[in-house]
């Protein structure tokens, strides 16, 4: 299978014949610890079971269990309803380096489940160690996202799923090449037919990875238990930090709702250096001068596990982030007007950091989610 484009960015499956043998890439390029190995074995076993069941006509809608603290309504596009077959296929693809040019990187290389689906680096690293331009954002709760990437250039998870494949600094290949590899792989051919009733194509690859991504959820944190009535779920310092968060710290100007993000774009000055922006941010997408240096508000769920911070990983710790905002961020011509010096005391800053750490809960993913917290 291959794809053709009818409108910009719209992939439609079409048939093609292959005139050469494609190399079969075995999964496992990122399996380098017992836990990651166990995760990948679970992917394979589930995938085969679902493919076999689908051949017998088995298919049903699927909704992941939504953890405490999140909206029970999960938006899913009508054109890509969740099914077990799609989730299993997407999970298999997520962990498989077959998607990268030299089969050395998988989605999970940067989005490590044991790091709340980040990688702990300042910016992403791609093929051959190529240094990317931005920090790897967490994937937790992206099912609720209104746009994706720090600049919001992808309106859907389906569109987001394909970008790393063709990005020179990431997987550095083409959709055609990846589809050819998958079509030549007997397991993947069976799994695509189980999920979509046809062989591999770029559109369905994106749908599968997006389906799996929608199952990556974080909730059930001490904060969630506290707001559900468990008075002792937060200790005294964390409760003080919650008051700072809602009050003097003005954090809720941007970090609101179950995901602790307004899904909007704000200029904090973090990319302002020597009288210019080192990264245009949202303006590169919108073309609007007011969006220069503006980036999407990240979620604060699992924030204690997703260091370093900001779009280019320039702040190493939560304490660094708090101090940055305590100073009023970084002045520049387009600084968000909500950002002003906070004048927090030492104890208030410690309390705020303690509260932010209380936003870490249970990260789950896949069809039979387990606790991924190390």
| 220-362 has the same fold as 2-218 | yes
Q: Rounded distance, CA 168 to CA 195, Å?
A: 29
Give the DSSP H or E segment for 13. Answer: strand 11-14
Lookup: tokens for 360: 């870490």
Q: Rounded distance, CA 344 to CA 338, Å?
A: 16
Nearest C-alpha neighbor of 293 from the set 150, 138, 137: 150
Q: Rounded distance, CA 325 to CA 129, Å?
A: 32
User: For residue 223, how far is the Cα from the chain centroid?
Assistant: 22
Give the DSSP H or E segment for 189. Answer: helix 186-196
- Identify the residue whose tokens are 């410690």: 350
Q: Which residues pair with 10 in a beta bridge?
A: none
List the catalytic residues. Answer: 170
Q: Rounded distance, CA 347 to CA 106, Å?
A: 42
The model's pTM: 0.85
Q: Summarize pLDDT for 211-220 with one digit per residue, the tens.
A: 999 999 999 9
Q: Is the omega angle on the peptide bond into residue 308 within 30 degrees of 0, that is, cis? A: yes
* Domain ranges within the chain, ordered by starting residue: 2-218, 220-362
* Confidence at residue 60, expressed as pLDDT on a 0 to 100 scale: 80
* Confidence at residue 368, expressed as pLDDT on a 0 to 100 scale: 75
Q: Residues of the chain whose pLDDT is less than 50?
A: 1-12, 14-32, 34-35, 37-38, 44-58, 373-374
* Confidence at residue 372, expressed as pLDDT on a 0 to 100 scale: 54
Nearest C-alpha neighbor of 107 from the set 190, 206, 177: 206
* Confidence at residue 57, expressed as pLDDT on a 0 to 100 scale: 42
* Confidence at residue 3, expressed as pLDDT on a 0 to 100 scale: 34
Pairing of strands 265-267, 272-273: unpaired
User: SS3 for 38-91, per residue?
Assistant: HHHHHHHHHHHHHHHHHHCCCCCCCCCCCCCCCCCCCCCCHHHCCCHHHHHHHH
CB atoms within 10 A of CB 18: 11
* Confidence at residue 53, expressed as pLDDT on a 0 to 100 scale: 45
Give the DSSP H or E segment for 36. Answer: helix 34-55
Q: Which CATH number fits domain 220-362: 1.10.565.10, 1.10.760.10, 2.40.70.10, 1.10.357.10?
A: 1.10.760.10
Q: Rounded distance, CA 99 to CA 181, Å?
A: 9
* Confidence at residue 54, expressed as pLDDT on a 0 to 100 scale: 44
Superfamily of domain covering 2-218? Cytochrome c-like domain (1.10.760.10)
Is the CB of residue 276 less than 8 Å from the CB of residue 347?
Answer: no
Name every residue whose Cβ is closer than 8 Å to that of residue 91 and which is 6 or more positions away in sequence. 43, 46, 47, 212, 365, 366, 367
């Amino acid at each position: 299978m291959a794809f053709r484009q009818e409108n910009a960015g719209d992939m439609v499956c079409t048939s093609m014949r292959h005139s050469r043998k494609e190399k079969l890439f075995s999964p496992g390029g990122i399996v380098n610890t017992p836990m990651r190995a166990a995760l990948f074995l679970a992917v394979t076993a589930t995938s085969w079971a679902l493919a076999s069941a689908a051949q017998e006509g088995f298919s049903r809608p699927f909704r992941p269990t939504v953890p405490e603290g999140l909206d029970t309504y999960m938006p899913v596009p009508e054109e890509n309803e969740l099914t077990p077959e799609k989730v299993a296929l997407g999970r298999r693809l997520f962990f498989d380096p077959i998607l990268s040019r030299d089969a050395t990187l998988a989605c999970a290389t940067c989005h490590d489940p044991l790091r709340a689906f980040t990688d702990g680096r300042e910016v992403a690293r791609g093929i051959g160690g190529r240094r990317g331009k931005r920090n790897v954002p967490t994937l937790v709760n992206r099912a609720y996202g209104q746009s994706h990437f720090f600049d919001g250039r992808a309106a859907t998870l389906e569109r987001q799923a394909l970008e790393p494949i063709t990005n020179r600094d990431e997987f550095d290949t083409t959709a055609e090449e990846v589809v050819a590899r998958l079509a030549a792989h007997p397991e993947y051919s069976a799994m695509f037919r189980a999920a979509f009733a046809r062989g591999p194509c770029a559109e369905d690859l994106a749908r599968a990875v997006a389906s799996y991504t929608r199952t990556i959820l974080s909730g059930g944190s001490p904060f969630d238990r506290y707001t559900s009535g468990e008075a002792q779920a937060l200790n005294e310092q964390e409760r003080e930090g919650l008051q700072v968060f809602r009050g003097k710290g003005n954090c809720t100007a941007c970090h609101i709702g179950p995901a602790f993000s307004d899904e909007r774009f704000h200029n904090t000055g973090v990319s302002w250096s020597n009288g210019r922006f080192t990264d245009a941010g949202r303006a590169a997408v919108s073309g609007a001068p007011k969006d220069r240096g503006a980036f999407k508000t990240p979620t604060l769920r699992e924030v204690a596990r997703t260091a370093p911070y900001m779009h280019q990983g320039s702040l190493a710790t939560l304490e660094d982030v708090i101090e940055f905002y305590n100073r009023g961020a970084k002045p520049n011509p387009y600084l968000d007007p909500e950002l002003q010096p906070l004048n927090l005391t030492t104890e208030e800053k410690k309390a705020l950091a303690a509260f932010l750490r209380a936003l870490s809960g249970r990260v789950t993913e896949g069809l039979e989610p387990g606790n991924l917290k190390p």
